[in-house]
Each structure stands twice: as structure tokens, then as C-alpha cells.
Structure 1
Amino acid sequence: MEKSLIQACHDDPMTGAHFSFERTYNKIKYYYWWPRMKATIKQYIRSCLLCKQFNISRHKNVGHLRPITPPEGPFLLIGIDYCGPLKRTPRENQYVLVITDYFTRHITAIALPNCTAETTAQTLFNEYFCKYGVPTVILSDQGSHFRNQLMENIKYLIGYNHIYSTQYHPQTNGMVERFNATFIPQISKLQDTEDNNWDEYLQAVVFAYNTGIHKTTKYSPYELLYGRLPRLP
């Protein structure tokens, strides 16, 4: 019984997606309890072969931080970044546009065949602005897919401020970059390497992330955004 519960909350693409002990424990403890629960969950995750194979260490040396002023509500300050190029899928996807809301930590990720300026602008408009509204500020690096005349025209047409990180302070958009560092190992654990179907698991991994407790806010991005806990499979 205990092993089945841990397996469901850690291994399943939608509810666990092989995320960390903290996220797995927080999902289980809301509904269940048993003696030595933490130890049991830790032991299960330590013995997970996929986690052993794909997890990477992301510890960094202590440095000077330049914190971003927190926004007053969701979808006012967002960070955008590309993950890729990844191995091309049968659906021709090779990149993932990752969009992070700095208020709730909610992630939106869209699989795309390329990362051109046209694709970026069209995807932001159709998949984000038309669903969540226009942000006040967008943070990104200075990649040509973000810093170009088309994106500049859209910025003035729609009405938002676009801030670019510099090569000396790329951590300005660190929230998105941290998710990208997490995303690759999680997808690698779930995809069928022969079919290379990582894009089929993308939304399940994003859902698992958005319904997990965030270390900073102590809430899941889903709960902060919708005001309720999700109904999980």
C-alpha cells in the first residue's frame, strides 16, 4: 500500500514526474500518514533508477543576488526562455518556450519546431496574452529570438516593458533558468527514447510541477493561481 502510494505520487507523469523528495512528500502528506513516512519516501526515491540516472546537482557558490521586486499580482511580471534544441520529435518539435509567472511561480511550456522571432511572437500572443492578459514586464535574455524588431514592435503595440538580462548578470531571469535545469532530467526519465516522444509528456511534467509545493511560497503555483487544490488523477 505505502509503496503504491509513493509510486503514484513520484513516478506518475501527471502527479509526480520524478520530482524531488519535498514535492513527493508534500503531495502525499495532504491525504495520508503512516509511521516513518519521510524515511520510507526518501528510501524509495534514493532507490529510483531513473532519478539516479538523470538527476544533476545544481548547487552554486554563494554570490551577490540582485532580487527582482515582487509583482502585486499574477501575470504582471513574467520570465521567458527557450529550452533546446532538443532531439526532434515525430511532430517536428525541437524547442520549448518556457514562461514563468513571478507571482505564483506558475509555469507555461509550449513545444515548438523552432525558436525564430516570428514563432516566439505568435506563441506569446496566442498561448499567453490571449489566455492570461498582457503582462506589465517581461524578462528574458538577449537572444535574437527575443531581441529583434518584431518583438520591439509588439511591445509598443500591445503595451509592456521588456527587460533583458546582460551577459554579466544572466541570473536576472534565474527563475525560468532554474525550471529549465529541472525540466530536462524530468523529461528524460519519462520519454520513450526510441520514439523520442518527449513532447507528449511535456504538459504532464508541467502539471506535476505546478501542483507541487514551491519552497519559497509554501504553496503550489496551482493553488495560488486558482485558489483551490487540484483534483489529481
Structure 2
Amino acid sequence: MGTDAAVTSQPTKTGASTVTNKKPKATEVLQNTTNAQKTAVEQRRQPTYQESTAMTLQLTDEAIVAAQGRSRLVQKMKADEAHRGMKVAQQYGLVLIDTKRGKRIILPPELWPIAFKESHDSVWAGHLRAPHTYERIARMYWWPDLLQEVKRWVRGCQDCGSWKARPREVIPPLRSLRGGDACDRWALDVAGPYPRAGGGERYVIAAVEYVTRYVVAVATERHTAEHVAEFLMKEVVLKFGVFRELLTDGAPELAGRSIEQLVLLLQAEQTNPVPYRPQMIGLVDRFHRTWKDTVSLYMHDDKQDDWE
């Protein structure tokens, strides 16, 4: 029995052992583990085409050739050998079209998102505008209505919409405003605060008539909507008649409830120009600048409470 056990513990001529309960050596376990790790690494290094394009955002010739073979659009143009007067031919496995800018690769629709991400969404692309994105794609690729597709993609880009969105600037007409009759249109503005004057005044309310350029201005201690409405009624309406239009710059004291009620009572219209474009009420702004420059020449260096 002992001899049989000793014989069965030896390997046969073919190299296989008949013993099933033999413990593996430490070196064999380490080698098997190393081989399994290498196999796992090789499997990770060989992703599918969809995974590789999602990670690298690169279009390879092999991927394009395969996609062109699946595209009915590309195969139809290849069979016709022309598209809208442009020659279509296959070279080195790729279907090319001869455009005015030279030969370009016809990109199938399934690869358009990858081209957009590579030329617009990636870090290297920088989310540039549609013309720049179009130029990048058109250097190598072509497909029908490429420019329109690029514009549609850029308009729908969420990153561009959330980070680069800006209010559309409204450019005013390049013509002078019609003055109409005298005292029909007034521009209103408040300047200050200035050093407190002897009577406590710190602000200047001014109104300029657009036809005659006549200016009405008063110094006041406060510049609330009630004070501005009182100025309009006493200094403008009661002296020059009811106006039809009032131009203001949208400041809170010029758009308060008291101003709205006064304008409604006079059946007039209050116009707020484009934000951050003071040229629309340039007359009254220029007046403030002129009188400040003039008064500053007569101010004492040690005493600035007599400017009113």
C-alpha cells in the first residue's frame, strides 16, 4: 500500500499527476495571480469603440471606415460617385468628397456628436462660437448642412448657455431723437451725494428739455422718489406745462411709485434707455458735468459747503 501511494504521488509520463489533494506551491500561486492580473490589465486596455471614443474623443480612420460602411447616406453618395456636383470617391478605405476647399472625409451621422465634442466641448476646444467650431471640423470632415448642424449644436450647449450667456445688447437706432414740440420731452437725472452745503443740500436734481436745451435744476437734501416727483410738479409741470415723455436712467429714485403715479396722472410716458448706455440721456449727464467743472473752479480748498 505504501508503495502504491508513493508511485501515485509521482507525475506520469505525460506530465499529469494523479493526486487530487496535492497542495500547490507558493511560487505557483504567485505565478497564477500575476497572470490573472496581466489578463485583467490587457482587458482594461482594450475597450470597445464607444468606450474609447467617450474617453479620448478621437476619431480614428478605422472607426470612420466602419461607420461609413454602416451609413446608408455615405453608401448612397459612394454609389452615385457625386453629391450636389461634388465628386465622391474612396481612397485608402475612406470615402472622400471633393469640395471647394479640397478633399474632405464624409463623416456619418453616428459620429457627428464625437466630432462636436472634440471640436467644441473638449478642454482643448474651449467652447468657442459656431464659426470657430465650424472651421475646426471643416478642416478634415464634411457632411450635408454642416454649418447649420454646428450652429444647432452650439446653441444647445448647456455649458455655453450657463457660463457664457450674456444679455443681448440692444443697439439704439443711429439717428437723433425727434424733439417734437417744446416741452414735450424732458430728461431727468439726480447727481450726488456732494459735500453737505450750508443748507444741508447734498444732491442736485436736474431736468433738461430736448428741443430748447433749457435746464431746470435744484439742490436738495434728499433724493427720494417723493422729492423727485415734487420737483417735477413744481419746477416743470406748473411752469412749462404737461410733458409727453420723460427720459430717466432707471435709478430707483426715478422709478418709484410716486413717479409712476405722476406720469400716469399726466397721461405721459416714461422711457428707460438701454442699461449701461448713458448716451441716451446724454443731455442731462452733460449738464451735471458742466456745472460741476464750473463750480469746482470757485470752490475754496478748505471749505466746500457753498457749492449750492
Q: TM-score, normalised by structure 2?
A: 0.42
Q: Deviations over 1:75-97 (max 9, x none)?
A: 11110111111111010111111
Task: Specify the code of the residue in structure 1 equivalent to 2:307.
Answer: W
What secondary structure, in the 3-state scheme, does the structure 2 residue paired with 1:109 have?
A: strand
Q: Is the 8 A contact 1:66 1:172 kept in 2?
A: no
The residue number in structure 2 matching 1:166 is 274
How far is the alpha carbon of 1:181 from its aligned partner? 1.5
How far is the alpha carbon of 1:70 from its aligned partner? 2.2
CA distance in 2, matches of 1:143, 1:118: 14
How far is the alpha carbon of 1:65 from its aligned partner? 6.8
What secondary structure, in the 3-state scheme, does the structure 2 residue paired with 1:141 have?
A: coil
How far is the alpha carbon of 1:64 from its aligned partner? 8.0
- Is residue 204 of structure 2 the alignment partner of residue 96 of structure 1? yes
CA distance in 1, matches of 2:240, 2:212: 13
- Is residue 299 of structure 2 the alignment partner of residue 196 of structure 1? no
The residue number in structure 1 matching 2:220 is 112
Q: Is the 8 A contact 2:195 2:304 kept in 1?
A: no
Residue pairs, 1:9-28, within 5 angstroms:
none
CA distance in 1, matches of 2:260, 2:204: 22
Q: Deviations over 1:108-165 (max 9, x none)?
A: 1111111101100011101111001111111010101111222111111122110012
The residue number in structure 2 matching 1:71 is 179
What secondary structure, in the 3-state scheme, does the structure 2 residue paired with 1:130 have?
A: helix
The residue number in structure 1 matching 2:286 is 178
How far is the alpha carbon of 1:69 from its aligned partner? 2.2
What secondary structure, in the 3-state scheme, does the structure 2 residue paired with 1:99 have?
A: strand
CA change 1:195–1:181 in 2 (3 A) is closer
Unaligned runs of 5+ in 2: 1-170
Q: Is the 8 A contact 1:142 1:166 kept in 2?
A: no
State the number of aligned residues: 137
Percent identity, please. 25
CA distance in 1, matches of 2:172, 2:266: 35
CA distance in 2, matches of 1:198, 1:110: 12
User: CA RMSD, aligned part only?
Assistant: 1.9
What secondary structure, in the 3-state scheme, does the structure 2 residue paired with 1:142 have?
A: coil
- Is residue 230 of structure 2 the alignment partner of residue 142 of structure 1? no
Task: Specify the code of the residue in structure 1 equivalent to 2:246.
Answer: I
Unaligned runs of 5+ in 1: 1-62, 200-233
The residue number in structure 1 matching 2:192 is 84
CA distance in 1, matches of 2:173, 2:204: 27
Higher-Rg structure is 2
CA distance in 2, matches of 1:123, 1:115: 10
Q: TM-score, normalised by structure 1?
A: 0.55
CA change 1:65–1:87 in 2 (3 A) is farther
The residue number in structure 1 matching 2:239 is 131
Task: Specify the code of the residue in structure 2 equivalent to 1:123.
Answer: F
CA change 1:131–1:82 in 2 (3 A) is same
Using CA pairs below 8 Å that are at least 6 residues apart, which structure has the higher relative contact order? 1
CA distance in 1, matches of 2:227, 2:173: 33
How far is the alpha carbon of 1:180 from its aligned partner? 1.3
